């Protein structure tokens, strides 16, 4: 849940599971990112982790760090936690230890905190990440990196992360799957010829991630144990409402539905495989077709054109998760990458190359080395923090490109327009 204080504007900008309990090392790091940090820690030097946000998603992160310390024998420790809702904060601290804070600025001032894990509502991520980087903390930030209305903040965070000596990684843990690294190499090596088209998506039944979020206390109200103003941040000022506080994913002020809550998992590996950056245009369709109680779409589809002559189609609904679309991480997330000479997709544990009609190339299969590994993803990130390596499995520069495409789609959908990106001015134009 959200963390912060009433004095929220301190930045210079205006203001699911625990997947696997294994400490295996992830795939080779990505070749994106910025320069190396000059701060290098010893391989066995302890890293203190502080958590901003103690809601449901944070549980997997607490478990991962606890496992790495107790079972993986990593030099890492939970040293602090912060939340604007005291009962939830107390539960985490009682279970895992560390100092308790209700103001995340106080956590950032704690010298025992080397690494910050941010798992708060979407509209708070960017501000908290910027503040953490400026405080010299390494940052693991849950996706999406910002709210869908916060493009300027996304751009500012990308700049700060690029210039910081600290390391930043996004919570798109599926990037630990070696399939994406293997597919990227096949594309770079020219197997499919010139890339021209890609498809991906995220399908799910139900809005359990929104309306299904538990209301911890129906009688909760602002006061010493619940900082409503900190939760709101720079979002529109609204009277306190228990549903908005506990079920924030239902509301457009704090979340975006499939486009920004789910699609970063799908689009991140595709953009990594293709090596593209900012789109030229985005056209989006969708709406609330099944779940009327929520403010955000339950169905979202986007066509994203890139200057390289590549179109990416991202499709998703929470009305049906037909399993025939594949299971690489979650239903419907298997991509198809098409080129002049053939296509790449995944069948079972193999990457499959399907030659285009008229091509003299032969069909091939490439065994996937290993799949998603949440604990390994954290382990790799901590290794980057120690070495100063900025090229994490899912760096901020990649998140900037992914989030911009999704922001363009949501802004275009809400205004009924085609969204264009002015690369020279680094600006979204509607």
Domain edges within the chain: 1-176+228-246+371-391, 178-209+257-369+404-429
Instruction: Using alpha carbons only, give the angle 127, 128, 130 rounded to the nearest 5 degrees.
Output: 65
Q: Give the pLDDT score at 327.
A: 64
Q: Give the pLDDT score at 197.
A: 98
* Sheet containing 299-306: order of strands: 364-367, 350-355, 342-347, 336-339, 195-201, 310-317, 299-306, 281-287, 419-422, 427-429
Domains 1-176+228-246+371-391 and 178-209+257-369+404-429 share a fold: no
Give Dmax (Cα) for the chain. Answer: 70
Q: Give the pLDDT score at 120.
A: 98
Beta carbons of 80 and 48 less than 8 angstroms apart = yes
Check: CATH 3.40.50.720 for 1-176+228-246+371-391?
A: yes
C-alpha to C-alpha distance for 21 and 291, rounded to whole angstroms: 35
By the 10 Å C-beta count (0-12 exposed, 13-18 middle, 19+ buried), 28 is classed as exposed
Which helix (DSSP H) or strand (DSSP E) does residue 169 occupy? Answer: strand 168-170
Q: Helix H segments across 356-395?
A: 374-387
Beta carbons of 202 and 259 less than 8 angstroms apart = no
Q: What is the pLDDT along the chain (430 residues), one digit of tens a residue?
A: 444 333 333 333 333 333 333 333 233 332 223 333 334 555 568 999 999 999 999 999 999 999 999 999 999 999 999 999 999 999 999 999 999 999 999 999 999 999 999 999 999 999 999 999 999 999 999 999 999 999 999 999 999 999 999 999 999 999 999 999 999 999 999 999 999 999 999 988 887 778 788 899 999 999 999 999 999 999 999 999 999 999 999 999 999 999 998 999 999 999 999 999 999 999 999 999 999 889 999 999 999 999 999 999 999 999 888 766 666 765 557 899 999 999 999 998 999 999 999 999 999 999 999 999 999 999 999 999 999 999 999 999 999 999 999 999 999 999 999 999 999 999 999 9
Instruction: Give 173's DSSP letter.
Output: G
The DSSP line for 329-351 is SSTT---EEEESSEEEEEETTEE
Fold topology of 178-209+257-369+404-429: Dihydrodipicolinate Reductase; domain 2 (3.30.360)
Q: Give the pLDDT score at 331.
A: 55
Q: Residue length, the chain?
A: 430
Pairing of strands 310-317, 299-306: antiparallel
Beta carbons of 264 and 410 less than 8 angstroms apart = no
Q: Give the pLDDT score at 59.
A: 96
């Amino acid at each position: 849940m959200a963390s912060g204080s009433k004095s929220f504007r301190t930045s210079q900008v205006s203001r699911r599971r625990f997947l696997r309990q294994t400490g295996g090392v992830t795939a080779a790091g990505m070749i994106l990112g910025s320069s190396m940090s000059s701060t290098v820690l010893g391989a066995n030097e302890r890293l203190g982790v502080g958590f901003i946000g103690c809601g449901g998603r944070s549980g997997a992160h607490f478990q991962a760090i606890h496992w790495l310390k107790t079972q993986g024998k990593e030099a890492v420790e939970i040293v602090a936690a912060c939340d604007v809702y005291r009962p939830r904060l107390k539960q985490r601290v009682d279970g895992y230890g560390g100092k308790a804070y209700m103001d995340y600025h106080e956590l950032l001032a704690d010298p025992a905190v080397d690494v910050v894990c941010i798992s708060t509502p979407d509209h708070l991520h960017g501000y908290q990440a910027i503040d953490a980087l400026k405080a010299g903390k390494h940052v693991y930030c849950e996706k999406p990196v910002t709210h869908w209305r916060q493009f300027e903040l996304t751009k500012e965070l990308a700049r700060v992360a690029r210039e910081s000596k600290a390391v930043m990684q996004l919570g798109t843990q599926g990037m630990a799957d070696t399939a994406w690294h293997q597919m990227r190499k096949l594309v770079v090596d020219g197997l499919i010829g010139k890339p021209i088209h890609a498809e991906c998506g995220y399908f799910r039944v139900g809005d359990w991630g929104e309306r299904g979020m538990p209301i911890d206390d129906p009688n909760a109200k602002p006061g010493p144990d619940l900082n409503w103003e900190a939760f709101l941040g720079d979002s529109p000022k609204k009277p306190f409402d228990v549903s908005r506080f506990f079920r924030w994913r239902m509301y457009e002020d704090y979340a975006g539905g499939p486009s920004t809550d789910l699609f970063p998992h799908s689009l991140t590996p595709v953009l990594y495989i293709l090596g593209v950056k900012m789109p030229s245009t985005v056209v989006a369709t969708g709406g609330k077709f099944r779940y009327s109680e929520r403010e955000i779409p339950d169905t979202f589809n986007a066509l994203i054109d890139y200057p390289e002559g590549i179109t990416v189609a991202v499709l998703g609904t929470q009305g049906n998760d037909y399993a025939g679309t594949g299971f690489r991480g979650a239903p419907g997330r298997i991509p198809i990458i098409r080129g002049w000479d053939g296509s790449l997709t995944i069948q079972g544990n193999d990457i499959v190359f399907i030659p285009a009609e008229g091509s003299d190339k032969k069909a091939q299969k490439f065994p996937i080395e290993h799949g998603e590994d949440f604990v390994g993803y954290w382990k790799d990130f901590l290794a980057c923090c120690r070495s100063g390596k900025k090229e994490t499995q899912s760096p901020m520069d990649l998140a900037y490109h992914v989030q911009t495409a999704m922001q363009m789609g949501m802004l275009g959908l809400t205004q009924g327009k085609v969204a264009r990106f002015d690369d020279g001015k680094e600006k979204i134009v509607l």
